[in-house]
Amino acid sequence: MLRFLTAGESHGPALVGILDGMPAGLPLLASDIDFELKRRQHGYGRGGRMKIEQDRVEILSGVRHGRTLGSPIALRIANRDWANWQKAMAIEPIEIAEQERKRVTRPRPGHADLAGALKHDADDARDILERASARETTARVAVGAVCKKFLREFDVHVASHTVALGSAGLPAGAEVAWDRILAAEGSPLRCADKATEQSMIEEIDRAMQARDSVGGSFQVVARGVPAGLGSHRHWDLRLNARLAAALCSIQSIKAIAVGDGFEAAGKMGSEFHDEIHYDKETRRFYRTSNHAGGIEGGISNGEEIRVRVYVKPLSTLPKALHSVDLKSKEEFQAQVERTDVSAIAAAGVVGEAMAAFVLAEAFLEKFGGDSIKEITRNFLGYIEQLRNY
């Protein structure tokens, strides 16, 4: 069983992740993880925090001489900003006057502030927001980087690209080819179309001027996934449901669509379903369309897995919305904390990490084993079986 936990507050000393169940023998270096951490920090529309941080991982366990041991992999990423928050986030009690300085009592609509404070009987919403913050996704990306490395051993690759931001976006139903997705890497918003990306940048500039934030969407694509991951047997084994849960667990994500998703509801069956063909030379079933997003009956069907993820506008607005003080119950404007106008480019990288975790988990379920060698044997045997089907 593959599983992970993260811990850490946004302005605490560090974020940590523990990934358990990764088999032995996977080549792994800190640089594999740092590469993904850097990608998460990139993107037009980020706020001041990304100028402070230079996320780097320290591998605390589970790796020896450049290879995984099969034991839990513990990862630590220091918060450089901690230096500025040592008092406000101190483990030991601090003076009341000091506590007041960073107290959050006017909850921001859309953030976890109010619901979390009510739930935990907190008189300072900072107790909640420090953990709810999307800073936590740093640890997820570190864990996901290990999962991506694992999948690459079997020629399974996960990428993402930005589809829409505010009113700017790629035309509905346009499927962006894999090579164009890869070519968008490093561009300001990781969007595959230059003109659309320019409109997205303008949307961000407009939102910034209006002291507002803006939502968007991205697509995660997994290529090389063999047919047969996930299962039709039970609700909690279906691959689409697992991807949906993992992706919806990311901060600010409000919806996901597998393949053509929302659009499917308005289509006829004959338009929507991907007709089946067979290539006798490569001995492989294939489709000429992929409206299903590579998953049928909760099982991967061998086509690219495509999942679109919808991100709400971030909930800290410089132009604060109406709120109520937790203590006095007087009406105020919500507290303004530092934030990003849009973190859409980073959100895609986090989406890749969560999708990679789900796919690695499903891959390990199917091909089992405690070492890369054993899993490779099982995997190749199955690929051969598919060819002879």
| Cβ contact 123:105 at 8 Å | yes
Q: Does 134 bind ligand EPS (CB under 6 A)?
A: yes
Q: Segment 137-156, which members bind ligand EPS (CB under 6 A)?
A: 137-138
Cα Rg, the chain, nearest whole Å: 22
Q: Does 135 bind ligand EPS (CB under 6 A)?
A: yes
Residues constituting the chain: 389
Binding footprint of ligand EPS, residue count (CB under 6 A): 17
Local structure of residue 65 (DSSP, 8 states): T
**Least CB distance from residue 160 to ligand EPS, whole Å?**
16
Name the one range near ligand EPS by CB under 6 A: 134-142, 176-184, 224-232, 259-267.
Answer: 134-142
**Least CB distance from residue 61 to ligand EPS, whole Å?**
24
Name the one range near ligand EPS by CB under 6 A: 146-154, 199-207, 334-342, 380-388.
Answer: 334-342
Name the one range near ligand EPS by CB under 6 A: 16-24, 63-71, 88-96, 127-135.
Answer: 127-135
**Least CB distance from residue 137 to ligand EPS, whole Å?**
6
| Cβ contact 147:360 at 8 Å | yes
- Please work out, in degrees rounded to the nearest 5, the angle formed at the alpha carbon of residue 156 by the alpha carbons of 376 and 34: 105
Q: Does 338 bind ligand EPS (CB under 6 A)?
A: yes
Closest Cα partner for 5 from 16, 14, 131?
Answer: 16
Give the residue with the Cβ less far from ligand EPS, 47 or 116: 47
**Least CB distance from residue 15 to ligand EPS, whole Å?**
9
Give the residue with the Cβ less far from ligand EPS, 305 or 314: 314
Q: Does 340 bind ligand EPS (CB under 6 A)?
A: yes
Local structure of residue 58 (DSSP, 8 states): E
Give the residue with the Cβ less far from ligand EPS, 137 or 240: 137
| Cβ contact 73:63 at 8 Å | yes
Give the residue with the Cβ less far from ligand EPS, 25 or 216: 216
Phi, psi of 314 (to 5 degrees): -60, 150
Q: Give kind and range of the element (H or E) at residue 22.
A: none
| Cβ contact 339:364 at 8 Å | no
Distance CA 259, CA 196 (A): 21
**Least CB distance from residue 383 to ligand EPS, whole Å?**
38
DSSP string, 221-275: EEESPPTT-B-SS-TTT-HHHHHHHHHHTSTTEEEEEETTGGGGGGS-HHHHS--
**Least CB distance from residue 130 to ligand EPS, whole Å?**
9
Q: Which of 2, 6, 9, 10 binds ligand EPS (CB under 6 A)?
A: 10
- Return the bridge partners of 300, or none: 295
**Least CB distance from residue 218 to ligand EPS, whole Å?**
15
**Least CB distance from residue 69 to ligand EPS, whole Å?**
29
Give the residue with the Cβ less far from ligand EPS, 304 or 337: 337
Residue 23, classified by CB atoms within 10 Å of its CB into exposed (0-12), middle (13-18) or buried (19+), is buried
| Cβ contact 225:302 at 8 Å | yes
Binding mask 304-333 for ligand EPS (x = CB under 6 A): ----------xxx-----------------
Q: Which amino acid is at 76?
A: R
Give the residue with the Cβ less far from ligand EPS, 13 or 47: 47
Between the alpha carbon of residue 343 and those of residues 35, 126, 237, the distances in Å are 18, 21, 31
Q: Does 339 bind ligand EPS (CB under 6 A)?
A: yes
Angle at which helices 372-387 and 344-367 pack, to 10 degrees? 80
Q: Does 219 bind ligand EPS (CB under 6 A)?
A: no
Q: Segment 32-91, which members bind ligand EPS (CB under 6 A)?
A: 47, 49, 81
Residues that bind ligand EPS (CB under 6 A): 10, 47, 49, 81, 133-135, 137-138, 314-316, 337-340, 346
